[in-house]
Homo-oligomer: A and B are copies of this chain.
Amino acid sequence: MGAATRERIIEAGSILFRRQGYAGTGMKAIAAAAQAPFGSIYHFFPGGKDELTGEVIRAAGRVYGALVPRFFDGAPDTAVATRCAFRGAAETLRDCNYADACPIAAVALEVASTNEPLRLATAEVFAHWVGGLTARYEGAGLAPAVAHRLAVSFVSMLEGAFVLARASKNAQVVEDAGEIMFEAVRAALDKAAE
């Protein structure tokens, strides 16, 4: 029982939080989904559900944060990359029948008022994503304040569109939202080039 089991437990937590939220997901369900002995969860995460959830949040932060280079590297410009990221998210939602959106949003909404360490973990991940996107927009020539506002809006728009798309089982919401972000970035780039 080693690193691979620990990773399976984190991945199982991530999947279950995405599908049924934080409070609705018990440690037993996570152990079962990870095909790990129940006791092994407390071996790897002596702090219990809070510690495991913190790891799920941080792992998801890294995984989704790594998508930024995937969409932005090699794109003709940051407006097109923005649109592609939303289209990619829409495709992923359809492929999984709207089961897997963001494991962090559900946790953030559930624990923000009641669990300070987990609230901070979600805040850190969002800040990391916003930082990565801000750097891309700044790199494209936008002023720091403009770049930051677009980045904050990118993450907000995507998280909110996930909520609506999951509710309606319709990923067109995510594509529509992506068009608005595409146009916002395009307008900012045009203005900066004037």
A residues in contact (CB < 8 Å) with B: 19-24, 98-99, 101, 105-106, 108-114, 119, 122-123, 126-127, 148-150, 152-153, 155-164, 166-169, 173, 176-177, 179-181, 183-184, 187
Contact = CB atoms under 8 A, between A and B. Distances in A.
Contacts of A111: 20-21
Classify the secondary structure of A's interface with B: helix
A183 B126 CA distance: 23
A70 to B, nearest CB: 21
A162 B160 CA distance: 9
Total copies of this chain within the assembly: 2
Given A158-B160, A159-B159, A187-B183, A167 B108 contact: yes
A122 B167 contact: yes
A180 B36 CA distance: 46
